Amino acid sequence: METIIKMGTYHREEDRLSVLYKASRAGSVSTLNSLLQVEPLILHKISQSGFTETPLHVSALLGHLEFTKALLMCKPKLAIEVDYSQSTALHLASAEGHNEVVKGMLEVNNKPCLFPNEEDKIPWHYAVIRRRTDVVKELVNAKPESLSFLDNGNTVFHLCAMCNHLETLKALVELEIAISGKFLNFTSSDGTGNTVFHLAVMSKQVETIRYLLSVPTIREMANLKNNMGLTAFDILKHSPKDLKTLEIQLMLMEYSGIITESNRIYAHSHWSPPAAARPRTLKKKLFDKDSEMDWMLVQTKVTG
């Protein structure tokens, strides 16, 4: 391809642009350099072509790091160009989890971290949804204010809970505590007023709840009420009784400092104090008092 270009075979502009996009798909930096020798302004003529995305979109989507760097070196403005869906190349690289490509683009221009596309999503939205934890950290470090962006009224922390992405949630909580901590106690503005705790309890994410309880700043949210006047513990009361419900209730009871008086009354009404002869055994059943299997499950969880 390189030799043909130097011979001038691709004398028409549309032919050279076609070669440019083929090179972006292949990640061929040598072809890009040859094209620039023949037509130094080719990257400035992309907007006049019929393509719906830039070569940077293609390169970033496919994870071609060196080609991406070469493009941005020649024309840094490509970083803020959008495609047919108003997405930047950073949106695509973030969704695909190309961490090194993301870092390379952020070094040139970090403004696209805050660019919403036609779905009103910025790059970290896609990184969170696709479990790209390393990418999420890069994006938030580059633009900490991106944490203020909501997705249908939900913060990034809500989104992690909704998608059950515990590792990403942990990484974001650590970053936010180091930055300011002001976004951790946000309730959603989607009409529900739910906290991350509410969402985790609704879907019975045992490990997520255990983690949330381990972080003092977040643990305080367990007593916050949503727009229906319910705490996370209140929601648990109305959940179907199963082993996960039991495990979550045991965790909440262990952290008695966060249980309100009404919750404490409810817990006591379902659990009797340990018997004197067997202080480590809770004899009262959590479930239907006629179910021997439920009693066995409770005994298993409490006695270890």
Segments making up each domain of the chain, as ranges: 1-109
Lowest-confidence segment of 62-66, 176-180, 257-261 by average pLDDT: 257-261
CB 120 within 8 A of CB 113: no
Give the pLDDT confidence of 121-148 residue by residue, as tens digits. Answer: 999 999 999 999 999 999 999 999 998 8
Position 23 pLDDT exceeds 50: yes
**Is the pLDDT score of 69 beyond 90?**
yes
Geometric angle at alpha carbon 160, from 157 and 165, rounded to 5°: 140
- The DSSP bridge partners found for residue 64 are none
Q: Once rounded to an integer, what is the mean pLDDT over residues 267-281?
A: 42
pLDDT of res. 57: 98
pLDDT value of position 255: 66
Q: Are 177 and 151 in contact (CB under 8 A)?
A: no
Q: For the ranges 15-24, 52-61, 232-241, which has the lowest average pLDDT?
A: 232-241
**Four-CA torsion 11, 13, 15, 20, nearest 10 degrees:** 110
pLDDT band at 263 (very low <50, low <70, confident <90, very high): low
Mean pLDDT of 151-164: 88
For the cut 80, the answer to whether the pLDDT of residue 61 exceeds it is yes
Rg (CA), the chain: 27
With 60 as the cut, is the pLDDT of residue 257 above it?
Answer: no
Mean pLDDT of the region 215-219: 82
The structure's pTM equals: 0.77
Percent of the chain with pLDDT over 90: 46
- The Cα–Cα gap between 300 and 277 comes to 18
Tell me which of 242 and 303 has the higher pLDDT. 242
* Residue 179, pLDDT score: 79
CA distance 114 to 124: 9
Cα(218)–Cα(196) distance, integer angstroms: 9
Residue type, 133: T
Calculate the CA dihedral of residues 94, 98, 103, 108 and round it to 10 degrees: -70
Mention the CATH class of domain 1-109. Answer: mainly alpha
Helices (H), the chain: 2-6, 13-26, 29-38, 55-62, 65-74, 89-96, 99-108, 123-129, 133-142, 156-163, 166-179, 196-202, 206-214, 216-219, 232-237, 243-254, 261-270, 292-303
Q: Does residue 112 surpass a pLDDT of 80?
A: yes
Average pLDDT of 154-170? 91
